[in-house]
Structure 1
Amino acid sequence: MSLRHGLLGLLAEGPASGYDLARRFTEVLGSIWPAQHPKIYAELGKLAGEGLVEVESEGPRRRKAYRITESGLAEVKRWLTEVDVDHTMRLQPLLRSLFFWLMDAEDLQKHLAAEAGFYSKLAEQYRQYAAAKDRGDYGYSPQTQSLRVTVEAGIRLYTALADWAEWAQTVPPAKPSTD
């Protein structure tokens, strides 16, 4: 996913400042797709220059609220329907797993236990978020329904990674073979 399309999608929900968009990225996408403030502000400038967003208002300390334009909405819809999905997943834990053979078995056990705990905790946080959505705590808007689908993906992904880390503790190199 490109940052630009994430910003356009969030602005399709309603006007927001760069600060608000950074907060929404953290709330909604958290560890899945982080976005830093400087990159968000730079991208908003580019989007405005391309006519995909416009400044709706300017407040104290030159805080700008942006809104999506018709061209911006058309662009995010085009991205959703016409652009091939990038299925690349850059998961550092999996890259590290390629080199587990360089770790002592005891250190690796500790690392994998910590990973399993981290992912289990994250999956539980997402389950609680999903339960609140299912109860209707956030209403039933199309945005909320789409977010629920995203939350479910997070639950399943983090559960799978926790299961993987648990399993990895039971096989070499975490448990040296007894040959």
Structure 2
Amino acid sequence: MSLRHALLGLLEDGPASGYDLTARFEKSLHRYVWTARQSHVYPELNRMADDGLIVVSDQGARGRRTYMITDLGRAELRAWLLAPARTRAVRDEQVLRMSLLSTLTAAEARQLVHHYLSDAENAHAELLDIAAAADAEDHPRGRLRFGRLAIEYGIRSYQAQQEWARWALEQLGTSAAGD
């Protein structure tokens, strides 16, 4: 995935300024999908405008620009969405830690898994709140608007992480080795 495609997807949901896009990115994508700083967003918006994928639809006070997606931008987003996904490099520090639990004592491993479980429970609760707010809002695309399906993916992923952590704690509880 590229920042370009994330921004095109956000603009497909409606025109927005660079500031608005950064805020929407932070709210809907940052923690769960993709990270980007404001210093990355603005240069990418300029490149996208140069490539004809977006246009400035309004210019306000202090040079604030509102961007909107063009037909070429929609075609680019559609082509990317429909193309087979490339093999992705996975870099998940939490999973790496879990794969190395055997280097700890059972008590230390239990402590780490308890922390992992707590993080998964908190993130799950946060996504449930986001989903409830999204479901309560009236939107032309209804429940299937941008991000709602991804929110549900996240909810279910955190449920699976909680199940795994509880299972791992059971396994660690039955092992006296390393205590």
Q: Is 1:18 paired with 2:8?
A: no
1:26-41 aligned at under 5 Å gives the runs 26-33=26-33, 34-41=35-42
The verdict on how the C-alpha distance between 1:39 and 1:160 changes in structure 2, with shifts beyond 3 A counting, is: same
Q: How far apart are residue 111 of structure 1 and its match?
A: 1.7
Structure 2: tracts of 5 or more residues without a match: none
The verdict on how the C-alpha distance between 1:174 and 1:120 changes in structure 2, with shifts beyond 3 A counting, is: farther
CA distance in 2, matches of 1:101, 1:107: 10
The answer as to whether partners of 1:12 and 1:68 remain within 8 angstroms in 2 is yes
Q: How far apart are residue 50 of structure 1 and its match?
A: 0.9
For 1:168, the aligned partner's letter is A
Structure 1: tracts of 5 or more residues without a match: none
The verdict on how the C-alpha distance between 1:173 and 1:46 changes in structure 2, with shifts beyond 3 A counting, is: farther
Equivalent position of 1:168 in the other structure: 168
The answer as to whether partners of 1:168 and 1:174 remain within 8 angstroms in 2 is no
The answer as to whether partners of 2:110 and 2:172 remain within 8 angstroms in 1 is no
Equivalent position of 1:4 in the other structure: 4
Aligned CA-pair RMSD: 2.4
For 1:47, the aligned partner's letter is M
Deviations 1:23-71 (A, max 9, x none): 1112222411222111111211211121111222333333222111111
Instruction: Report the TM-score when normalising by structure 1.
Output: 0.84
The answer as to whether partners of 2:106 and 2:177 remain within 8 angstroms in 1 is no
1:42-121 aligned at under 5 Å gives the runs 42-81=43-82, 83-86=83-86, 88=88, 89-121=90-122
For 1:169, the aligned partner's letter is L
Deviations 1:106-161 (A, max 9, x none): 33222211110111121122223333444xx2114326423322211110011111
